[in-house]
Amino acid sequence: MATHGMGATRRRMDAAVEDARRRLAALRVGRASPDLVNDIRVAAWGSELPISQVAQVGAQPPRGLVITPHDPSLIPAIERAIGDSDLGARPRVDGVRVRIELPAPTAERRSMLAKQAGDTAEQARVAVRLARRDAINELRRSRAAEEIGEGKLIGRSKDLQAMTDERVASIDQLLATALTELEQ
């Protein structure tokens, strides 16, 4: 493949799987995870920054999180950002920390999270398949330009399909794990 090598395709596919892993981890309701606040942004130092850049986040089992800002003056901004988020939890300031106790999820919330998990997995599968499609199109262009032979086109196409199948199976496993944890 002239401009779009197998390595670039593998990286695109792996990035889609990793993004799905991160997003599905944030949906887990059975236990607290720092991933739950990854996407929450805090107004700090003149810009909007992810909580992970302005504080240390730790889990406090079973459903608690402890957020310790690097700069204690950011506590009100962190408290406000968490309160405005869709976490469904109220932040509680405890000295120089912000504590969050996640509520036990309702059946309705579990159902909504299961749908979100399915949507997240499908987006990742689509991203993997798009990477495969782009790579196969590049192979076909190389074949049309006679840069590669028919045998190499077929062989690399099979390799791409195997790579795709592997990544889709990983995404399916991540989804199954997330759904199992949502049911607990």
pLDDT along the chain (184 residues), means of 10: 71 96 76 79 89 90 87 92 83 90 81 92 98 95 92 94 97 94 78
Q: According to the model, what pLDDT value does residue 2 have?
A: 43
DSSP 111: H
Dist. CA 135–CA 46, nearest whole Å? 42
DSSP assignment of 107-122, as one string?
HHHHHHHHHHHHHHHH
Q: According to the model, what pLDDT value does residue 6 have?
A: 87
Q: According to the model, what pLDDT value does residue 85 have?
A: 85
User: Where do the structural domains in the chain lie, given as residue ranges?
Assistant: 6-25+106-183, 31-101
CATH of domain 31-101: 3.30.1360.40
User: Could you say which architecture CATH assigns to the domain 6-25+106-183?
Assistant: Orthogonal Bundle (1.10)
Contact 17, 167 (CB under 8 A): yes
Q: According to the model, what pLDDT value does residue 1 have?
A: 40
Dist. CA 78–CA 46, nearest whole Å? 14
Q: According to the model, what pLDDT value does residue 104 have?
A: 75
Structure token pair of residue 181: 């944890």
Provide the pairing of β-strand 55-60 with 47-50: unpaired
Q: According to the model, what pLDDT value does residue 28 have?
A: 62
